[in-house]
Amino acid sequence: MKRLRIKIVGQSGMGLLSVGEMFIDAFNELGLFVYSDREYPSLIKGGHSCFTINISDERIFSLSEFADVMIAIDSVSLSAYFDFLVEGGILVHGMEKPLSIKRILEKAVDKNVKVIHLNAREVSKESGGSVLMQNTVLVGMAWKVLGLDIAGIEMSLRKRFAEKANVIETNLKCLNAGYDRVDSANLGSNFVKKLSDKKIEKKFLIDGNKAIALGAINCGVRAYFSYPMSPSSTVLTYLADISEKTGMIIKQAEDEITAAQMALGAMYMGTRALVATSGGGYDLMTETISLAGIMESPIVVVIGQRPGPATGLPTWTMQGDLNLAVFSSHGEFPRVVLAVSDSIDAFYLIQHAFNFAEKFQVPVIVLSEKTICEGKINVGTYDENAVEIERGLVAADELVNVKREDRYALTESGVSKRWLCGESEVYHITNGDEHFVDGAVTEEADEVEKIYSKRMRKIETIKKSLPKPEIFGTQKEAEISFVGWGSSKNVMRDVIENCLEKGMKVNYLHYSFVWPIDEESLKDFFKNNKNVHLIEENYLGQFGNLAENCGIKFDGRLLKFNGRSFFVEDVMNYIDKNLQK
Protein backbone atom coordinates (compact mmCIF):
# COMPACT_ATOMS: atom_id res chain seq x y z
CA MET A 1 0.00 0.00 0.00
CA LYS A 2 1.65 3.16 -1.19
CA ARG A 3 0.93 6.39 0.57
CA LEU A 4 2.18 9.91 0.14
CA ARG A 5 2.80 11.68 3.41
CA ILE A 6 2.60 15.44 3.77
CA LYS A 7 3.13 17.61 6.81
CA ILE A 8 2.28 21.31 6.74
CA VAL A 9 3.86 23.10 9.68
CA GLY A 10 3.33 26.61 10.99
CA GLN A 11 2.33 28.64 14.01
CA SER A 12 -1.28 28.75 15.15
CA GLY A 13 -3.11 31.64 13.61
CA MET A 14 -0.99 31.69 10.44
CA GLY A 15 -3.59 30.05 8.24
CA LEU A 16 -2.31 26.51 8.62
CA LEU A 17 -5.76 24.98 8.90
CA SER A 18 -6.91 26.83 5.83
CA VAL A 19 -3.93 25.64 3.77
CA GLY A 20 -4.40 22.06 4.97
CA GLU A 21 -8.08 22.00 4.14
CA MET A 22 -7.43 23.41 0.68
CA PHE A 23 -5.11 20.46 0.01
CA ILE A 24 -7.36 17.70 1.35
CA ASP A 25 -10.34 19.09 -0.48
CA ALA A 26 -8.38 19.02 -3.76
CA PHE A 27 -7.12 15.46 -3.09
CA ASN A 28 -10.65 14.32 -2.31
CA GLU A 29 -11.94 15.77 -5.57
CA LEU A 30 -9.21 13.89 -7.43
CA GLY A 31 -10.60 10.69 -5.96
CA LEU A 32 -7.67 10.03 -3.65
CA PHE A 33 -8.17 8.53 -0.23
CA VAL A 34 -7.26 10.97 2.48
CA TYR A 35 -6.57 10.71 6.17
CA SER A 36 -5.77 14.00 7.86
CA ASP A 37 -5.39 15.20 11.41
CA ARG A 38 -3.89 18.23 13.06
CA GLU A 39 -1.65 18.80 16.01
CA TYR A 40 -1.75 22.16 17.69
CA PRO A 41 -1.20 23.70 21.11
CA SER A 42 -4.00 25.10 23.28
CA LEU A 43 -3.64 28.74 22.28
CA ILE A 44 -4.93 31.04 19.57
CA LYS A 45 -1.70 32.58 18.26
CA GLY A 46 1.85 31.20 18.19
CA GLY A 47 3.29 27.85 19.21
CA HIS A 48 4.01 25.28 16.54
CA SER A 49 1.32 23.30 14.80
CA CYS A 50 1.18 20.62 12.19
CA PHE A 51 -1.44 19.54 9.70
CA THR A 52 -0.71 15.99 8.58
CA ILE A 53 -2.14 14.52 5.39
CA ASN A 54 -1.64 10.97 4.13
CA ILE A 55 -3.06 10.14 0.70
CA SER A 56 -3.30 6.91 -1.23
CA ASP A 57 -5.21 5.39 -4.09
CA GLU A 58 -6.43 2.74 -1.67
CA ARG A 59 -8.38 3.31 1.53
CA ILE A 60 -6.08 4.29 4.39
CA PHE A 61 -7.18 4.57 7.98
CA SER A 62 -4.34 6.11 9.92
CA LEU A 63 -1.25 8.27 9.70
CA SER A 64 2.43 7.69 9.35
CA GLU A 65 4.61 9.51 11.82
CA PHE A 66 6.85 10.71 8.98
CA ALA A 67 6.53 12.93 5.93
CA ASP A 68 7.73 12.71 2.34
CA VAL A 69 6.92 16.37 1.80
CA MET A 70 7.10 19.08 4.41
CA ILE A 71 5.56 22.46 3.72
CA ALA A 72 6.88 25.02 6.19
CA ILE A 73 5.10 28.28 6.89
CA ASP A 74 7.54 29.44 9.58
CA SER A 75 10.95 28.60 10.96
CA VAL A 76 9.95 27.77 14.56
CA SER A 77 7.57 25.04 13.47
CA LEU A 78 10.02 23.81 10.87
CA SER A 79 12.65 23.33 13.57
CA ALA A 80 10.17 21.42 15.70
CA TYR A 81 9.07 19.06 12.94
CA PHE A 82 12.03 18.81 10.54
CA ASP A 83 13.22 15.48 11.95
CA PHE A 84 9.99 13.85 10.75
CA LEU A 85 10.92 14.56 7.13
CA VAL A 86 12.31 11.35 5.63
CA GLU A 87 15.73 10.87 4.06
CA GLY A 88 15.46 12.08 0.49
CA GLY A 89 12.22 13.95 1.15
CA ILE A 90 11.18 17.36 -0.10
CA LEU A 91 11.05 20.58 1.89
CA VAL A 92 8.92 23.41 0.50
CA HIS A 93 9.28 26.80 2.13
CA GLY A 94 8.87 30.43 1.22
CA MET A 95 10.93 32.18 3.85
CA GLU A 96 12.25 35.60 3.13
CA LYS A 97 15.58 35.06 4.85
CA PRO A 98 16.61 31.43 4.46
CA LEU A 99 19.52 32.29 6.76
CA SER A 100 17.16 31.97 9.71
CA ILE A 101 16.94 28.27 9.01
CA LYS A 102 20.59 27.85 8.20
CA ARG A 103 21.05 24.88 10.49
CA ILE A 104 17.95 23.16 9.12
CA LEU A 105 19.22 23.64 5.60
CA GLU A 106 22.51 22.07 6.57
CA LYS A 107 20.69 19.10 8.00
CA ALA A 108 18.67 18.93 4.78
CA VAL A 109 21.86 18.51 2.79
CA ASP A 110 22.95 15.69 5.10
CA LYS A 111 19.59 13.97 4.71
CA ASN A 112 19.60 14.39 0.96
CA VAL A 113 16.44 16.48 1.23
CA LYS A 114 15.49 18.47 -1.84
CA VAL A 115 14.66 22.06 -0.90
CA ILE A 116 12.14 23.97 -2.97
CA HIS A 117 12.29 27.65 -2.12
CA LEU A 118 10.87 30.94 -3.34
CA ASN A 119 10.63 34.20 -1.47
CA ALA A 120 6.88 33.77 -1.08
CA ARG A 121 6.27 37.24 0.28
CA GLU A 122 8.01 38.79 -2.68
CA VAL A 123 6.15 36.56 -5.15
CA SER A 124 2.87 37.44 -3.48
CA LYS A 125 3.69 41.16 -3.72
CA GLU A 126 4.61 40.87 -7.38
CA SER A 127 1.28 39.15 -8.05
CA GLY A 128 -0.58 41.98 -6.35
CA GLY A 129 -1.17 39.95 -3.17
CA SER A 130 -0.87 40.70 0.52
CA VAL A 131 1.46 39.30 3.19
CA LEU A 132 -1.17 36.67 4.08
CA MET A 133 -1.28 35.45 0.50
CA GLN A 134 2.27 34.11 0.73
CA ASN A 135 0.53 30.98 2.02
CA THR A 136 -1.23 30.73 -1.33
CA VAL A 137 2.09 31.00 -3.12
CA LEU A 138 3.33 28.15 -0.95
CA VAL A 139 0.30 26.05 -1.85
CA GLY A 140 1.01 26.60 -5.55
CA MET A 141 4.65 25.60 -5.06
CA ALA A 142 3.73 22.42 -3.20
CA TRP A 143 1.08 21.47 -5.73
CA LYS A 144 3.69 21.68 -8.48
CA VAL A 145 6.07 19.56 -6.41
CA LEU A 146 3.35 16.90 -6.24
CA GLY A 147 3.21 16.98 -10.04
CA LEU A 148 -0.49 17.60 -10.13
CA ASP A 149 -2.50 19.65 -12.58
CA ILE A 150 -3.15 23.21 -11.39
CA ALA A 151 -6.90 22.87 -12.06
CA GLY A 152 -7.43 20.68 -9.00
CA ILE A 153 -6.05 23.13 -6.49
CA GLU A 154 -7.61 26.11 -8.30
CA MET A 155 -11.03 24.61 -7.81
CA SER A 156 -10.35 24.01 -4.14
CA LEU A 157 -9.17 27.61 -3.74
CA ARG A 158 -12.27 28.98 -5.45
CA LYS A 159 -14.45 26.94 -3.09
CA ARG A 160 -12.53 28.13 -0.06
CA PHE A 161 -12.87 31.81 -1.02
CA ALA A 162 -16.38 31.52 -2.46
CA GLU A 163 -17.67 34.14 -0.04
CA LYS A 164 -14.74 36.51 -0.53
CA ALA A 165 -15.07 37.18 -4.26
CA ASN A 166 -12.85 40.26 -4.06
CA VAL A 167 -9.75 38.25 -3.14
CA ILE A 168 -10.25 35.19 -5.36
CA GLU A 169 -8.52 36.60 -8.41
CA THR A 170 -5.45 37.83 -6.54
CA ASN A 171 -5.19 34.51 -4.70
CA LEU A 172 -5.38 32.67 -8.00
CA LYS A 173 -2.55 34.83 -9.33
CA CYS A 174 -0.44 34.02 -6.27
CA LEU A 175 -1.25 30.34 -6.60
CA ASN A 176 -0.24 30.26 -10.24
CA ALA A 177 2.89 32.28 -9.61
CA GLY A 178 4.03 29.77 -6.99
CA TYR A 179 3.11 26.87 -9.25
CA ASP A 180 4.81 28.26 -12.36
CA ARG A 181 8.10 29.13 -10.73
CA VAL A 182 8.80 25.65 -9.40
CA ASP A 183 10.25 22.82 -11.48
CA SER A 184 8.05 19.79 -11.18
CA ALA A 185 9.22 17.13 -8.77
CA ASN A 186 6.41 14.89 -9.89
CA LEU A 187 5.72 13.00 -6.71
CA GLY A 188 1.99 12.49 -6.85
CA SER A 189 1.40 11.76 -10.51
CA ASN A 190 1.79 8.02 -9.99
CA PHE A 191 -1.42 7.96 -8.04
CA VAL A 192 -3.22 10.22 -10.42
CA LYS A 193 -2.33 8.10 -13.45
CA LYS A 194 -3.71 4.99 -11.79
CA LEU A 195 -6.84 6.85 -10.81
CA SER A 196 -7.61 8.14 -14.25
CA ASP A 197 -8.90 4.70 -15.21
CA LYS A 198 -11.14 4.41 -12.16
CA LYS A 199 -14.59 5.83 -11.90
CA ILE A 200 -14.52 8.25 -9.02
CA GLU A 201 -17.33 7.91 -6.54
CA LYS A 202 -18.32 11.20 -4.94
CA LYS A 203 -16.92 11.35 -1.42
CA PHE A 204 -17.08 13.84 1.41
CA LEU A 205 -14.38 14.78 3.87
CA ILE A 206 -15.91 14.44 7.30
CA ASP A 207 -14.47 14.53 10.80
CA GLY A 208 -15.77 12.45 13.70
CA ASN A 209 -17.61 15.30 15.40
CA LYS A 210 -19.60 16.06 12.28
CA ALA A 211 -20.31 12.35 11.80
CA ILE A 212 -21.74 12.15 15.32
CA ALA A 213 -23.84 15.25 14.70
CA LEU A 214 -25.16 13.84 11.42
CA GLY A 215 -25.90 10.45 12.98
CA ALA A 216 -27.79 12.18 15.76
CA ILE A 217 -29.87 14.20 13.31
CA ASN A 218 -30.55 11.05 11.32
CA CYS A 219 -31.99 9.17 14.31
CA GLY A 220 -34.28 11.94 15.46
CA VAL A 221 -32.25 13.87 18.03
CA ARG A 222 -34.07 17.18 18.43
CA ALA A 223 -32.08 18.97 21.11
CA TYR A 224 -28.42 19.46 21.88
CA PHE A 225 -27.23 20.73 25.25
CA SER A 226 -23.57 21.51 25.76
CA TYR A 227 -20.88 23.65 27.30
CA PRO A 228 -17.92 24.23 24.98
CA MET A 229 -14.87 22.06 25.61
CA SER A 230 -12.17 20.78 23.28
CA PRO A 231 -12.30 18.51 21.42
CA SER A 232 -16.11 18.26 21.34
CA SER A 233 -16.88 21.95 20.76
CA THR A 234 -17.31 21.64 17.02
CA VAL A 235 -20.36 19.41 17.54
CA LEU A 236 -21.95 22.46 19.14
CA THR A 237 -20.71 24.84 16.46
CA TYR A 238 -21.77 22.58 13.64
CA LEU A 239 -25.25 21.82 14.98
CA ALA A 240 -25.79 25.52 15.68
CA ASP A 241 -24.71 26.46 12.16
CA ILE A 242 -27.31 24.17 10.57
CA SER A 243 -30.05 24.63 13.17
CA GLU A 244 -32.02 26.89 10.86
CA LYS A 245 -32.47 23.85 8.61
CA THR A 246 -32.85 21.14 11.24
CA GLY A 247 -35.10 23.08 13.62
CA MET A 248 -33.25 21.48 16.52
CA ILE A 249 -32.95 23.33 19.82
CA ILE A 250 -29.26 24.03 20.38
CA LYS A 251 -28.60 25.31 23.87
CA GLN A 252 -25.19 26.37 25.07
CA ALA A 253 -25.81 25.76 28.74
CA GLU A 254 -24.23 27.59 31.67
CA ASP A 255 -22.23 24.50 32.67
CA GLU A 256 -21.96 20.76 32.07
CA ILE A 257 -24.19 19.94 35.02
CA THR A 258 -26.97 21.90 33.36
CA ALA A 259 -26.34 20.37 29.95
CA ALA A 260 -26.68 16.87 31.35
CA GLN A 261 -29.72 17.73 33.49
CA MET A 262 -31.52 19.41 30.61
CA ALA A 263 -30.85 16.44 28.36
CA LEU A 264 -32.14 14.06 31.02
CA GLY A 265 -35.29 16.18 31.47
CA ALA A 266 -35.84 16.44 27.73
CA MET A 267 -35.35 12.69 27.20
CA TYR A 268 -37.71 11.98 30.11
CA MET A 269 -40.32 14.10 28.37
CA GLY A 270 -39.92 12.00 25.24
CA THR A 271 -37.63 13.70 22.78
CA ARG A 272 -34.09 12.65 21.92
CA ALA A 273 -31.39 14.97 23.25
CA LEU A 274 -27.63 14.77 22.88
CA VAL A 275 -24.81 15.97 25.10
CA ALA A 276 -21.13 16.04 24.16
CA THR A 277 -18.18 17.09 26.28
CA SER A 278 -14.70 15.95 27.24
CA GLY A 279 -13.52 14.10 30.35
CA GLY A 280 -13.39 17.18 32.57
CA GLY A 281 -16.90 18.23 31.59
CA TYR A 282 -18.13 14.70 32.06
CA ASP A 283 -16.79 14.76 35.64
CA LEU A 284 -19.45 17.38 36.35
CA MET A 285 -22.13 15.22 34.75
CA THR A 286 -21.51 12.13 36.82
CA GLU A 287 -24.20 12.88 39.42
CA THR A 288 -26.71 13.17 36.59
CA ILE A 289 -25.61 9.82 35.17
CA SER A 290 -26.24 8.31 38.59
CA LEU A 291 -29.68 9.92 38.68
CA ALA A 292 -30.50 8.51 35.24
CA GLY A 293 -29.39 5.13 36.57
CA ILE A 294 -31.93 5.01 39.40
CA MET A 295 -34.67 6.81 37.46
CA GLU A 296 -34.21 4.34 34.62
CA SER A 297 -34.45 7.26 32.24
CA PRO A 298 -32.40 7.37 29.05
CA ILE A 299 -29.46 9.72 28.54
CA VAL A 300 -26.64 9.73 25.97
CA VAL A 301 -23.36 11.56 26.60
CA VAL A 302 -20.41 11.73 24.21
CA ILE A 303 -16.94 12.11 25.73
CA GLY A 304 -14.37 13.42 23.25
CA GLN A 305 -11.28 12.19 25.07
CA ARG A 306 -8.13 14.23 25.54
CA PRO A 307 -5.29 13.52 27.94
CA GLY A 308 -5.90 14.44 31.59
CA PRO A 309 -5.71 14.69 34.52
CA ALA A 310 -7.32 18.11 34.96
CA THR A 311 -6.72 20.38 31.97
CA GLY A 312 -3.98 17.99 30.85
CA LEU A 313 -3.27 18.35 27.14
CA PRO A 314 -6.41 20.09 25.89
CA THR A 315 -5.75 19.75 22.17
CA TRP A 316 -4.20 16.29 22.05
CA THR A 317 -5.55 12.79 21.97
CA MET A 318 -5.81 9.74 24.24
CA GLN A 319 -8.01 6.82 25.29
CA GLY A 320 -7.70 7.71 28.94
CA ASP A 321 -11.34 7.97 30.02
CA LEU A 322 -12.59 4.42 29.64
CA ASN A 323 -12.46 3.82 33.37
CA LEU A 324 -14.27 7.12 33.86
CA ALA A 325 -17.06 6.04 31.51
CA VAL A 326 -17.37 2.59 33.03
CA PHE A 327 -17.01 3.41 36.73
CA SER A 328 -18.14 7.03 37.09
CA SER A 329 -20.94 8.08 39.46
CA HIS A 330 -21.98 6.97 42.92
CA GLY A 331 -23.96 3.81 43.45
CA GLU A 332 -24.35 0.76 41.23
CA PHE A 333 -26.44 0.75 38.09
CA PRO A 334 -26.33 -0.72 34.60
CA ARG A 335 -24.91 1.32 31.76
CA VAL A 336 -23.57 0.88 28.25
CA VAL A 337 -20.29 2.32 26.99
CA LEU A 338 -19.63 2.57 23.24
CA ALA A 339 -16.52 3.74 21.45
CA VAL A 340 -16.42 5.19 17.96
CA SER A 341 -13.34 4.79 15.79
CA ASP A 342 -13.81 7.05 12.77
CA SER A 343 -16.23 9.23 10.84
CA ILE A 344 -17.90 6.18 9.38
CA ASP A 345 -18.85 4.11 12.41
CA ALA A 346 -19.52 7.23 14.51
CA PHE A 347 -22.57 7.93 12.34
CA TYR A 348 -24.09 4.54 13.15
CA LEU A 349 -22.89 4.02 16.71
CA ILE A 350 -24.45 7.25 17.97
CA GLN A 351 -27.77 5.90 16.68
CA HIS A 352 -27.23 2.59 18.49
CA ALA A 353 -26.45 4.61 21.61
CA PHE A 354 -29.91 6.19 21.56
CA ASN A 355 -31.58 2.85 20.91
CA PHE A 356 -29.78 1.18 23.81
CA ALA A 357 -30.49 4.12 26.12
CA GLU A 358 -34.20 4.08 25.34
CA LYS A 359 -34.77 0.34 25.04
CA PHE A 360 -32.96 -0.53 28.26
CA GLN A 361 -33.65 2.79 30.05
CA VAL A 362 -30.01 3.26 30.99
CA PRO A 363 -27.28 5.89 30.57
CA VAL A 364 -25.14 5.35 27.48
CA ILE A 365 -21.71 6.92 27.25
CA VAL A 366 -20.10 7.22 23.84
CA LEU A 367 -16.33 7.56 23.79
CA SER A 368 -14.61 9.46 21.03
CA GLU A 369 -11.03 10.72 20.87
CA LYS A 370 -9.53 14.01 19.80
CA THR A 371 -7.96 12.34 16.78
CA ILE A 372 -11.38 11.03 15.74
CA CYS A 373 -13.22 14.27 16.62
CA GLU A 374 -11.00 16.29 14.26
CA GLY A 375 -9.49 13.67 11.95
CA LYS A 376 -10.97 13.91 8.47
CA ILE A 377 -11.42 10.99 6.13
CA ASN A 378 -13.35 10.57 2.90
CA VAL A 379 -16.78 9.12 3.47
CA GLY A 380 -18.89 7.83 0.60
CA THR A 381 -22.53 7.90 1.50
CA TYR A 382 -24.10 6.99 4.80
CA ASP A 383 -26.89 4.43 4.85
CA GLU A 384 -29.57 6.60 6.37
CA ASN A 385 -31.81 3.66 7.21
CA ALA A 386 -29.23 1.24 8.53
CA VAL A 387 -30.14 1.65 12.18
CA GLU A 388 -33.83 1.42 12.92
CA ILE A 389 -35.11 3.92 15.50
CA GLU A 390 -36.11 1.91 18.58
CA ARG A 391 -37.78 3.84 21.39
CA GLY A 392 -38.70 1.07 23.81
CA LEU A 393 -41.98 2.87 24.61
CA VAL A 394 -45.38 1.35 25.32
CA ALA A 395 -47.28 1.27 22.00
CA ALA A 396 -50.09 3.81 21.67
CA ASP A 397 -52.82 1.16 21.55
CA GLU A 398 -51.51 -0.49 24.71
CA LEU A 399 -51.48 2.69 26.77
CA VAL A 400 -55.04 2.01 27.98
CA ASN A 401 -53.80 -1.11 29.74
CA VAL A 402 -50.91 0.32 31.74
CA LYS A 403 -51.05 0.27 35.50
CA ARG A 404 -49.11 2.40 37.95
CA GLU A 405 -47.08 -0.57 39.15
CA ASP A 406 -45.98 -1.33 35.59
CA ARG A 407 -43.48 1.50 35.45
CA TYR A 408 -40.88 -0.32 37.53
CA ALA A 409 -42.44 -3.80 37.51
CA LEU A 410 -40.09 -6.56 38.72
CA THR A 411 -39.51 -8.20 35.34
CA GLU A 412 -37.11 -11.03 34.58
CA SER A 413 -35.20 -8.90 32.06
CA GLY A 414 -35.07 -5.96 34.43
CA VAL A 415 -36.68 -3.75 31.79
CA SER A 416 -40.13 -2.44 32.72
CA LYS A 417 -42.70 -0.54 30.70
CA ARG A 418 -41.95 3.08 29.94
CA TRP A 419 -44.53 5.57 28.82
CA LEU A 420 -44.22 9.32 28.57
CA CYS A 421 -45.48 12.06 30.84
CA GLY A 422 -49.05 12.97 29.89
CA GLU A 423 -49.59 10.00 27.57
CA SER A 424 -51.86 8.23 30.02
CA GLU A 425 -53.94 9.20 33.02
CA VAL A 426 -51.97 6.49 34.76
CA TYR A 427 -49.08 8.61 36.00
CA HIS A 428 -45.77 7.56 37.48
CA ILE A 429 -43.20 8.96 39.85
CA THR A 430 -39.69 9.03 38.45
CA ASN A 431 -37.72 9.06 41.63
CA GLY A 432 -34.08 9.72 42.47
CA ASP A 433 -34.83 8.27 45.89
CA GLU A 434 -35.10 4.50 46.11
CA HIS A 435 -38.62 3.56 45.22
CA PHE A 436 -40.85 0.65 44.54
CA VAL A 437 -42.74 -0.44 41.44
CA ASP A 438 -44.87 2.72 41.05
CA GLY A 439 -41.95 5.03 41.83
CA ALA A 440 -43.11 6.05 45.31
CA VAL A 441 -40.32 6.26 47.85
CA THR A 442 -39.50 3.20 49.95
CA GLU A 443 -36.82 2.33 52.47
CA GLU A 444 -38.21 -1.13 53.33
CA ALA A 445 -35.45 -3.75 53.22
CA ASP A 446 -37.40 -6.31 51.15
CA GLU A 447 -38.62 -3.81 48.62
CA VAL A 448 -35.23 -2.17 48.25
CA GLU A 449 -33.64 -5.53 47.52
CA LYS A 450 -36.25 -6.40 44.92
CA ILE A 451 -36.11 -3.16 42.95
CA TYR A 452 -32.31 -2.99 43.20
CA SER A 453 -31.95 -6.52 41.76
CA LYS A 454 -34.47 -5.77 39.05
CA ARG A 455 -32.40 -2.80 37.87
CA MET A 456 -29.15 -4.74 37.99
CA ARG A 457 -30.67 -7.66 36.03
CA LYS A 458 -30.55 -5.37 33.01
CA ILE A 459 -26.80 -5.94 32.82
CA GLU A 460 -27.33 -9.56 31.73
CA THR A 461 -30.13 -8.54 29.37
CA ILE A 462 -27.91 -5.92 27.78
CA LYS A 463 -25.05 -8.42 27.41
CA LYS A 464 -27.33 -10.69 25.40
CA SER A 465 -28.18 -7.84 23.03
CA LEU A 466 -24.64 -6.68 22.30
CA PRO A 467 -23.43 -6.86 18.71
CA LYS A 468 -20.34 -9.06 18.34
CA PRO A 469 -16.99 -7.29 18.23
CA GLU A 470 -15.47 -7.26 14.75
CA ILE A 471 -12.36 -9.17 13.74
CA PHE A 472 -9.99 -7.59 11.20
CA GLY A 473 -7.23 -9.59 9.53
CA THR A 474 -6.64 -13.04 8.19
CA GLN A 475 -8.39 -14.85 11.02
CA LYS A 476 -6.32 -18.06 10.68
CA GLU A 477 -2.83 -18.72 12.02
CA ALA A 478 -1.92 -15.12 12.60
CA GLU A 479 1.58 -14.66 13.90
CA ILE A 480 0.51 -11.89 16.22
CA SER A 481 -2.91 -10.57 17.19
CA PHE A 482 -4.24 -7.51 18.96
CA VAL A 483 -7.34 -6.48 20.89
CA GLY A 484 -8.42 -2.86 21.17
CA TRP A 485 -11.10 -0.22 20.88
CA GLY A 486 -11.63 3.29 19.49
CA SER A 487 -9.06 4.69 17.06
CA SER A 488 -6.76 1.68 17.55
CA LYS A 489 -8.85 0.03 14.84
CA ASN A 490 -7.62 2.53 12.27
CA VAL A 491 -3.93 1.96 12.74
CA MET A 492 -4.49 -1.80 12.96
CA ARG A 493 -6.27 -1.89 9.60
CA ASP A 494 -3.29 -0.22 7.95
CA VAL A 495 -0.86 -2.42 9.85
CA ILE A 496 -2.70 -5.57 8.79
CA GLU A 497 -2.39 -4.49 5.13
CA ASN A 498 1.27 -3.53 5.52
CA CYS A 499 2.08 -6.85 7.13
CA LEU A 500 0.18 -8.83 4.50
CA GLU A 501 2.31 -7.18 1.83
CA LYS A 502 5.30 -8.52 3.73
CA GLY A 503 3.69 -11.94 4.01
CA MET A 504 2.91 -11.61 7.68
CA LYS A 505 -0.50 -12.41 9.22
CA VAL A 506 -1.94 -10.13 11.87
CA ASN A 507 -5.39 -10.24 13.47
CA TYR A 508 -7.22 -7.58 15.38
CA LEU A 509 -10.35 -7.87 17.55
CA HIS A 510 -12.18 -4.56 17.79
CA TYR A 511 -14.70 -3.64 20.47
CA SER A 512 -17.23 -0.92 19.61
CA PHE A 513 -19.38 -1.88 22.60
CA VAL A 514 -16.72 -1.71 25.27
CA TRP A 515 -18.95 -2.10 28.34
CA PRO A 516 -20.33 -4.47 29.32
CA ILE A 517 -17.69 -6.64 27.64
CA ASP A 518 -18.83 -9.46 25.38
CA GLU A 519 -16.72 -12.06 27.20
CA GLU A 520 -17.45 -14.96 24.90
CA SER A 521 -16.02 -13.22 21.85
CA LEU A 522 -12.91 -12.34 23.81
CA LYS A 523 -12.38 -15.89 25.01
CA ASP A 524 -13.00 -17.27 21.51
CA PHE A 525 -10.46 -14.86 20.08
CA PHE A 526 -7.87 -16.03 22.58
CA LYS A 527 -8.76 -19.65 21.83
CA ASN A 528 -8.29 -19.13 18.09
CA ASN A 529 -5.22 -16.92 18.20
CA LYS A 530 -1.80 -17.18 19.76
CA ASN A 531 0.37 -14.29 20.81
CA VAL A 532 -2.47 -11.86 21.58
CA HIS A 533 -1.55 -8.33 22.60
CA LEU A 534 -3.38 -5.29 23.86
CA ILE A 535 -3.23 -2.02 21.93
CA GLU A 536 -4.47 0.96 23.86
CA GLU A 537 -3.74 4.64 24.29
CA ASN A 538 -3.30 5.04 28.02
CA TYR A 539 -0.84 4.13 30.76
CA LEU A 540 -2.80 1.57 32.74
CA GLY A 541 -4.16 -0.48 29.88
CA GLN A 542 -7.68 0.23 31.12
CA PHE A 543 -9.53 -1.95 28.62
CA GLY A 544 -6.85 -4.61 29.00
CA ASN A 545 -7.50 -4.75 32.74
CA LEU A 546 -11.25 -5.05 32.24
CA ALA A 547 -10.65 -7.76 29.66
CA GLU A 548 -8.27 -9.72 31.88
CA ASN A 549 -11.00 -9.79 34.54
CA CYS A 550 -12.73 -12.15 32.10
CA GLY A 551 -9.99 -14.70 32.67
CA ILE A 552 -7.67 -14.10 29.71
CA LYS A 553 -4.11 -12.84 29.79
CA PHE A 554 -2.44 -10.68 27.17
CA ASP A 555 1.01 -11.68 25.94
CA GLY A 556 2.00 -8.06 25.87
CA ARG A 557 0.67 -4.52 25.93
CA LEU A 558 1.30 -1.81 23.37
CA LEU A 559 0.51 1.40 25.24
CA LYS A 560 0.98 5.04 24.31
CA PHE A 561 0.10 8.07 26.40
CA ASN A 562 1.95 11.10 25.06
CA GLY A 563 -1.04 12.80 23.43
CA ARG A 564 -0.24 11.49 19.95
CA SER A 565 -2.30 8.75 18.36
CA PHE A 566 -0.74 5.50 17.20
CA PHE A 567 1.24 5.87 14.01
CA VAL A 568 1.68 2.92 11.68
CA GLU A 569 5.37 2.81 12.64
CA ASP A 570 4.56 2.44 16.37
CA VAL A 571 2.75 -0.80 15.74
CA MET A 572 5.18 -2.11 13.10
CA ASN A 573 8.08 -1.63 15.51
CA TYR A 574 6.15 -3.32 18.30
CA ILE A 575 5.39 -6.28 16.06
CA ASP A 576 9.04 -6.59 15.11
CA LYS A 577 9.96 -6.85 18.76
CA ASN A 578 7.19 -9.22 19.73
CA LEU A 579 6.97 -11.75 16.92
CA GLN A 580 7.29 -15.22 18.31
CA LYS A 581 10.56 -16.62 17.11
Residue 277 sits in the site that holds other proteins (CB under 8 A): no
3-class SS at 369? strand
Contact status, residue 320 vs residue 308, Cβ threshold 8 Å: yes
Q: Give the one residue of 55, 174, 263, 300 binding other proteins; rule: CB under 8 A.
A: 263
Binding mask 438-477 for other proteins (x = CB under 8 A): -xxx------------------------------------
Contact status, residue 134 vs residue 128, Cβ threshold 8 Å: no
Residue 246 sits in the site that holds other proteins (CB under 8 A): yes
Residue 254 sits in the site that holds other proteins (CB under 8 A): yes
Binding mask 187-216 for other proteins (x = CB under 8 A): -----------------x-x-------x--
Residue 223 sits in the site that holds other proteins (CB under 8 A): yes
Q: In whole angstroms, what is the distance from residue 418 CA to residue 309 CA?
A: 38
Total number of residues that touch other proteins (CB under 8 A): 63
Among 519, 268, 256, 232, CA closest to 367: 232
Q: In whole angstroms, what is the distance from residue 84 CA to residue 93 CA?
A: 16
Q: Give the one residue of 70, 253, 353, 466 binding other proteins; rule: CB under 8 A.
A: 253
511 phi and psi angles, rounded to 5 deg: -100, 115
Stretches 23-31, 431-439, 478-486, 546-554: which one binds other proteins (CB under 8 A)? 431-439
Judge residue 313's burial from the number of C-beta atoms within 10 Å of its C-beta, 0-12 exposed, 13-18 middle, 19 or more buried: middle
Residue 78 sits in the site that holds other proteins (CB under 8 A): no
Q: In whole angstroms, what is the distance from residue 186 CA to residue 140 CA?
A: 14
Q: Which is nearer to other proteins, 397 or 443 (CB)?
A: 443
Contact status, residue 80 vs residue 16, Cβ threshold 8 Å: no
Q: Which is nearer to other proteins, 166 or 381 (CB)?
A: 381
Tell the smallest beta-carbon distance from residue 333 to other proteins (Å): 14
List binders of other proteins among 386-405 (CB under 8 A).
Answer: 389, 391
Residue 273 sits in the site that holds other proteins (CB under 8 A): yes
Residue 433 sits in the site that holds other proteins (CB under 8 A): yes
Q: In whole angstroms, what is the distance from residue 278 CA to residue 469 CA?
A: 25
First-to-last alpha carbon distance for the chain, in angstroms, is 26
Q: In whole angstroms, what is the distance from residue 114 CA to residue 126 CA?
A: 26
Q: Which is nearer to other proteins, 98 or 270 (CB)?
A: 270
Among 122, 174, 183, 115, CA closest to 147: 183
198 phi and psi angles, rounded to 5 deg: -85, 150
List binders of other proteins among 344-383 (CB under 8 A).
Answer: 379, 381-382
Q: Give the one residue of 197, 397, 425, 576 binding other proteins; rule: CB under 8 A.
A: 425
Q: What is the DSSP letter of 467?
A: P
Q: What residues make contact with other proteins under the rule CB under 8 A?
A: 204, 206, 214, 217-220, 222-223, 225, 242-249, 251, 253-255, 257-258, 261-273, 287-288, 291, 295, 379, 381-382, 384-385, 389, 391, 420-422, 424-425, 427-433, 439-441
